[in-house]
Every structure is written in structure tokens, then in C-alpha cells.
Amino acid sequence: MNILRGGVQEFFGLDIGTTALRVVELRSNAGVSSLLRYAYVPIDNKLALSDAPGDQQKVAQAIQQLIADAKITTKNVAVGLPSQRVFTAVVDIERLSNDELAKTIKFQADSLIPTPLDESKMDWSMIGDSPVDKTKVEVLLSSVANEFVEKRLDMLESIGLNVIAFEPDTFAITRALLAKDAAISTGATMVLDVGHKATDIIININGAPRLTRSIPTGSEAIIRSAMQNLNIDEAQAQQFVMKFGVSKEKLEGQILRAISATIDILTSEIEKSLKFFQTRYPSNKLDQIIVTGGASVIPEFPLFLANKFGINVEIGNAWRNVAYPRDRQNELLAISNQFGAAVGLAERVES
Ligand SMILES: Nc1ncnc2c1ncn2[C@@H]1O[C@H](COP(=O)(O)OP(=O)(O)O)[C@@H](O)[C@H]1O
Ligand SMILES: [Mg+2]
């Protein structure tokens, strides 16, 4: 969803998350991205999700303040789109020239995206050969309601920003968390991002998404089940879940029991995605799950997944493709789990 292509040298990535606003600016030199600036500020989660003009104005003011505090001077910005608001899919399309492909996709849009084409912005990119039909290619599609992007655009332009691109958070997170040389591997990697209200599952081959799923269960639901089942308040539930996680031993496994029904929703969705993936791509083995967001800060959750699925589980590092001074390592790794989208947006290479 590039609004303006080419020519833009300086820009920053902006993640308007449910719980925080985050910005990252990188400098790219000879293929190496170095950290210039980053910043974040928590926001009330009701604000970010609200379409009310007054709330949007408050978000705009908070973004403006954050940019000033971070000392970002460029007005060019690449902005994330939350998975709940964007449709993404991998579809098989006849093997055609790029021009013909563009026409065909547009022509078939009604059957490809869930909303009418004239009410949506649609974007696509060719991934490669379809694994199920030799006459077809795989295309990664995304679409978003005009109404949503136009509101976002107005909000950002009201504080003088120039939006150079909108990109689904899931794609940005994938760019940040996967190794740049992922393109030479035949294996597949799942990225699992447990957000505040939703969890995203993205399975990638050669660094490109092949399966994306968003489920409306996130860290908020996990905390809520702890509150209800242990009869404690939110602050306490937050503290318990972040301290004891899904351990069977700590507190005699009380936390795990309290949140297990919610954890099961996530694991059964991971299982379904795995099955779907293996049916469509029988020759690509899923050999790694990279966790981020709430998934990487709930103690023992990565281990729990590794045991359950017999797959290597790694905690994602949002800065893995970014160069930065050694003495900033601790500070950057401490926020890595919530910075995937902002870093990935800043790593975009404009075409
Ligand atoms: N300060 C923090 N420490 C640890 N985890 C955090 C922090 N802030 C946010 N997170 C986690 O990062 C995830 C993503 O946050 P956010 O981007 O605000 O939500 P979403 O992606 O759902 O919009 C949340 O699930 C939350 O658990
Ligand atoms: Mg997010």
C-alpha cells in the first residue's frame, strides 16, 4: 500500500499499538541498517482502538509529542496496520505477465478480498510458484477499508506527517524478526505475536508469509482469565502471570490452571495453522517458531510450545537486522518483544 513510491530517502517507522506508540528511525548504508533513534510512550488502550474524532486527536497529539521527544526531524513515515483491520491472504493466480497479473487480480478482487474493491485499498506481491498447481503462481494479497486508512491518513497529516506507506503489522514484524538470509533456507518459520487483544500467526518460507491468521485472543484475555479464576484484581493478575507464567511448579501450577483454557485457544489455533500449512506445503518442514509480544514475556510459554509441538522455539529479537552500539544492547533487548512492528516498518526498502 505504497502511496508514494521511490525517491524517499529518510523516513521513520510508526507503530500505533494498542498499549503504546512506538517510533524507529534507521540509517541504511551499503545494505546495513543502523539505529538512529527510537522512542515509545504507553497509551490508554481505549484511545488507540477508538474511531471517535476526539480520541483520534489525542492519539495525534501523543504521536507529535513522541516524535519531538525522539528528535525525529523527517516528516516521512511508514505506518503499520493492525491485523484486526487488514485482510491478508495467499492466493493462487494464473501464471501471467506482471501487467496481466495486475489486471486479473483487479478483475477477481470481489472473490479475493472480503470488501468491495471500490471501498478498499488492495495491494499484492508475487511470491513464487504455487505448491498445488503448476500453472499458477502464489500472490500475497492485502486489503484494508478505505475508511480506516483515510482516517489514519487525515490524523497523521493533521500533525504534518507525510505517509509514504501503510503496511500490515504482520509483514513488518516478519521482516524484523526473520534473519535477512532467511531467503536461502528451505525450512519454514512461524512467527507468533501475542498482542494485547489479538494473536497473529504468520508462517513463512524464504522470508515470505505463506499463511497468516489473526485470532481475537491476546494477553488481555490471558490476564482476564487469571483475574476471574483466581478472584484477584487486574494488577495482581498481571503480576502473577508475568512472574509465574505457565510453570507447572511455581505456585503449584495455579496460574497455569487459571489461564489454561485461554492458552488452549492459542495452541489449538497454532495446531490448525500447522496442519493447514503442512497440507499445502508438504515439502517444507516447519522447523522454528519465533515468539514475540506477550508470548515472549510470559515465563515458560516458549518452552511450553516447544514441548507441545516438538519444534524449536526461539524468542524473537526485533533488532536482529539492525546495527547499534554495544552499550545499548540491554536497553534495546528489554523492549524487543514490543518493537517488531516499528523496527520492521523502519527496515522497509522502498521500491
Ligand atoms: N512494557 C512491556 N513489557 C512487556 N510486554 C509488553 C510491554 N508493552 C507491551 N507489551 C506486550 O506487547 C504486546 C503488543 O503490544 P501492542 O503493540 O501495544 O498491542 P497490539 O499489537 O495488540 O496492538 C502486548 O501483548 C503486550 O503484552
Ligand atoms: Mg503491535
pLDDT in tens, 220-239: 999 999 999 999 999 999 99
Same domain flag for 224 and 329: no
Same domain flag for 342 and 269: no
Query: Which ligand is closest in space to the CA of residue 197?
Result: 1
Percent of the chain scored above 70 by pLDDT? 95
Same domain flag for 5 and 37: yes
Would you say residue 139 lies in a domain?
A: no
How far apart, in whole angstroms, are the C-alpha atoms of residue 292 and residue 177? 9
Would you say residue 157 lies in a domain?
A: yes
Closest CA to 343 of 20, 74, 26: 26
Would you say residue 108 lies in a domain?
A: no
Write down the mean pLDDT value for the chain: 93
33 lines ligand 1 (CB under 6 A): no
C-alpha cell read off for 40: 515509545
19 lines ligand 1 (CB under 6 A): yes
177 lines ligand 1 (CB under 6 A): no
Would you say residue 77 lies in a domain?
A: yes
Would you say residue 228 lies in a domain?
A: yes
Same domain flag for 281 and 196: yes
**125-129, 151-155, 250-254: segment of lowest average pLDDT:** 250-254
Same domain flag for 199 and 293: yes
Distance 173 CA to ligand 1 centre (A): 13
194 lines ligand 1 (CB under 6 A): yes
| Cβ-Cβ contacts under 8 Å for 22 (sequence gap 6 or more) | 14, 15, 38, 39, 40, 338, 339, 341, 342
Task: Name the pLDDT band for 3 (thresholds 50, 70, 90).
Answer: very low
Same domain flag for 201 and 268: yes
- pLDDT at res. 98: 86
Number of structural domains the chain divides into? 2
Distance 318 CA to ligand 2 centre (A): 12
Same domain flag for 252 and 286: yes
Closest CA to 22 of 48, 57, 56, 54: 48
Task: Name the pLDDT band for 184 (thresholds 50, 70, 90).
Answer: low
Would you say residue 92 lies in a domain?
A: no
Same domain flag for 272 and 343: no
Residue 351 pLDDT exceeds 60:
no
Would you say residue 263 lies in a domain?
A: yes
Pocket test for ligand 1, best of 196, 223, 262, 335 (most atoms within 8 A of CB): 196
Averaged over 242-266, what is the pLDDT? Answer: 93
Q: Report which ligand 1 atom has the smallest distance to the Cα of 42.
A: 8
| Domain carrying residue 324 | 1-85+145-179+320-351
Half-sphere exposure of 184 (CA within 13 A, CB side): 3
What is the domain-level CATH number for residue 56? 3.30.420.40
Same domain flag for 157 and 271: no
Same domain flag for 170 and 191: no
CB crowding 53-90: b at 16 or more within 10 Å, else e: eeebebbbebbeebbeebebebbbbbbbbbbeebbbbb
18 lines ligand 1 (CB under 6 A): yes
Same domain flag for 170 and 297: no
241 lines ligand 1 (CB under 6 A): no
Cβ atoms of 245 and 301 closer than 8 Å: yes
Residue ID of nearest Cα to ligand 1 atom 1: 335
Query: Which ligand is closest in space to the CA of residue 223?
Result: 1
- pLDDT at res. 183: 57
Would you say residue 232 lies in a domain?
A: yes
pTM of the model: 0.94
Same domain flag for 208 and 250: yes
- pLDDT at res. 295: 87
